[in-house]
Amino acid sequence: MSAKIILVTGGNRGIGREICRQLAALGHTVLLGSRDLKKGEQVAAEMEGEVLPVKLEVAKEEDINNLATHIKDKFGKLDVLINNAGILVGQKGTVDVDIDEVKRIMEVNFYAPWRLSQAMIPLLKNSPDGRIVNMSSGMGEWDSLRLGNYAGYRLSKTSLNALTVQMASELSGTKVKVNAMCPGWVKTDMGGAGADRQVEEGADTATWLATADTIPSGKFFRDRKEISW
């Protein structure tokens, strides 16, 4: 397996941090995205392997464009984009939720991965095996919407899943593959202490989608297995 150039957003803590650690340990070059570069530098310094901290506030178009230019100049290509950064705010359902709050969630969980993908696709096309991994959630699965609550978060992930399907289809004539995944319920700042998984387990499917010899495109995974939308 040859070393890949892999960008992970929200790499400074939680699942993203563990994805960076796993990929670097496998010998890949990891660009650890962090909106606070100092935090990214601290975390990267603690990891084994080639982990390069990069400044990336995913909701900031300027950061995305600067990073795309930096990657182009330094590597000429990107092999994998892992859209991991995300926020979970509020628990209200569609009837009561503040739409401005929904917009803030959509900006980070949906528009940012979309913008980043658009910016990186030319670089991913320069790779012999370009991949996009969208960190979604079972909370965005179609059937789980019937449970109500968490409207902003759920619908941001349902939208991300829909984006995955359409983008994968549009890129089917290229070498770039696009998939979504759910990490399960993971002990992080977002998942809380009551979650039933450690970060190692939550990060595993992302590491697999980034590095497996062959993967399909336009699918949704948990525990390396396809799940329904």
Q: How far is the CB of 173 from ligand NAP (least distance, A)?
A: 29
Among the listed residues 30, 106, 108, 167, the single contact to ligand NAP using CB under 6 A: 108
C-alpha–C-alpha distance, residues 113 and 215, integer Å: 20
Q: Is 140 in the site for ligand NAP (CB under 6 A)?
A: no
Question: Does the protein bind ligand NAP through residue 158 (CB under 6 A)?
Answer: no
- Tally Cβ neighbours within 10 Å of residue 223: 14
Cα–Cα distances in Å, from 95 out to 91, 98, 149, 152?
A: 12, 9, 9, 11
Q: In the structure encoding, which two tokens stand for residue 208, read together?
A: 């697999």
Closest CA to 90 of 153, 137, 160: 153
Going residue by residue from 24 to 63, which x/- string records binding to ligand NAP, judged by CB under 6 A?
-----------xx-------------------xxxx----
Residue among 133, 88, 137 nearest 113 (CA): 133
Nearest partner of 150 among 162, 160, 138, 161, judged by Cα: 138
Q: Which is nearer to ligand NAP, 127 or 133 (CB)?
A: 133
Dist. CA 218–CA 164, nearest whole Å: 6
Q: Total residues at the site for ligand NAP (CB under 6 A)?
A: 29
Residue placing its CB nearer to ligand NAP in the complex, 36 or 98: 36
Q: Check binding of 165 to ligand NAP (CB under 6 A).
A: no
Residue 135 engages ligand NAP in binding (rule: CB under 6 A): yes
Catalytic residues: 153
Q: Which of 75, 185, 208, 229 binds ligand NAP (CB under 6 A)?
A: 185
Q: Interacting stretch for ligand NAP, rule CB under 6 A, among 43-51, 172-180, 188-196, 209-217?
A: 188-196
Contact 140, 161 (CB under 8 A): yes
Q: Which residues bind ligand NAP (CB under 6 A)?
A: 9-10, 12-16, 35-36, 56-59, 84-87, 108, 135, 137, 182-183, 185-186, 188-191, 195
